[in-house]
């Protein structure tokens, strides 16, 4: 899917691409996915054509925004797996993902099913956070730290629930779920 043998972008193009990406990340995070592409272009101080050349569709743009974050989260997951026992590693990633989603409205919307196929985008980039969460769940269950009947689909729903919370003590909601999982 990605361009192969891509010749290097001209300097101004590279600059504009980065500027669009940075603006889109901010805007998606604070205002969600429904922001028009025109608006992102306006705030990035480029034409709409510039946006749509670098990112042919809105979904492409969002996927690109997601990529950085996914990479970071995948590293975080690996660190947890290495340093903690299975139960804590799993719960730690779960908590991290929820906090991450709470700080990024677009990510939360994508997770709660509003259109974009977030898993495909992440997996395509080799940053399979979902897969890691799935594995960590299995390990935590084998270690007896998490109830055995819980499935990955359950987790997704429970994450969506925490993300739907609008208040000032997200951890209280997370703790309800953590208790329920154990």
Residues in contact with DNA by CB under 7 A are: 9-13, 15-17, 34, 36-38, 45-50, 52-54, 56-59
The one of DNA, its own copies, none whose footprint includes residue 16, by CB under 5 to 8 A per kind, is: DNA
> In this structure, how many other beta carbons lie within 10 angstroms of the beta carbon of residue 57?
10
The residue count of the chain comes to: 182
Residue 172 near which of its own copies, DNA, none (CB within 5-8 Å, type-dependent)? its own copies
Nearer to its own copies (CB atom), residue 51 or residue 110: 110
- 11: partner contacted, choices its own copies, DNA, none (Cβ within 5-8 A by kind): DNA
* Least CB distance to its own copies at residue 165 (A): 4
User: Which of the listed partners (DNA, its own copies, none) does 6 bind, with a CB threshold of 5 to 8 Å by partner kind?
Assistant: none
What is the DSSP secondary-structure string of the chain?
Answer: -PPSSPPPPPHHHHHHHHHHHHHHHHHHHHH-TTS-HHHHHHHHTS-HHHHHHHSSSHHHHHHHHHHHHHHHHHHHHHHHHHHS-HHHHHHHHHHHHHHHHHH-HHHHHHHTTSS--HHHHHHHTT--HHHHHHHHHHHHHHTTSS-TT--HHHHHHHHHHHHH--SS-HHHHHHHHHHHH-
Rank residues 16 and 141 by Cβ distance to DNA and give the closer one.
16
* Nearer to DNA among residue 54 and residue 104 (C-beta): 54
4 binds, among its own copies, DNA, none (CB under 5 to 8 A by kind): none
- Would you say 19 or 99 has its CB closer to its own copies? 99
Least distance in angstroms from the C-beta of 31 to DNA: 11
Say how far apart CA 169 and CA 99 lie, in whole Å: 11
Q: State the nearest-atom distance from the C-beta of 93 to its own copies, in Å.
A: 17
């Amino acid at each position: 899917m990605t361009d192969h043998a891509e010749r290097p972008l001209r300097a101004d193009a590279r600059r504009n691409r980065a500027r669009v990406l940075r603006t889109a990340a901010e805007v998606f995070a604070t205002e969600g996915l429904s922001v028009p592409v025109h608006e992102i272009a306006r705030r990035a101080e480029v034409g709409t054509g510039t946006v749509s050349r670098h990112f042919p569709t809105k979904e492409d743009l969002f996927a690109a925004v997601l990529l950085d974050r996914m990479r970071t989260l995948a590293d975080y997951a690996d660190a947890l797996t290495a340093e903690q026992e299975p139960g804590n590693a799993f719960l730690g990633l779960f908590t991290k993902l929820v906090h991450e989603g709470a700080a990024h409205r677009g990510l939360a919307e994508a997770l709660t099913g509003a259109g974009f196929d977030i898993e495909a985008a992440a997996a395509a980039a080799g940053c399979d956070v979902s897969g890691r969460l799935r594995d960590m769940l299995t390990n935590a269950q084998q270690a007896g730290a998490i109830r055995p009947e819980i499935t990955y689909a359950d987790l997704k729903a429970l994450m969506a629930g925490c993300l739907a919370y609008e208040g000032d003590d997200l951890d209280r909601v997370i703790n309800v779920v953590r208790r329920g999982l154990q």
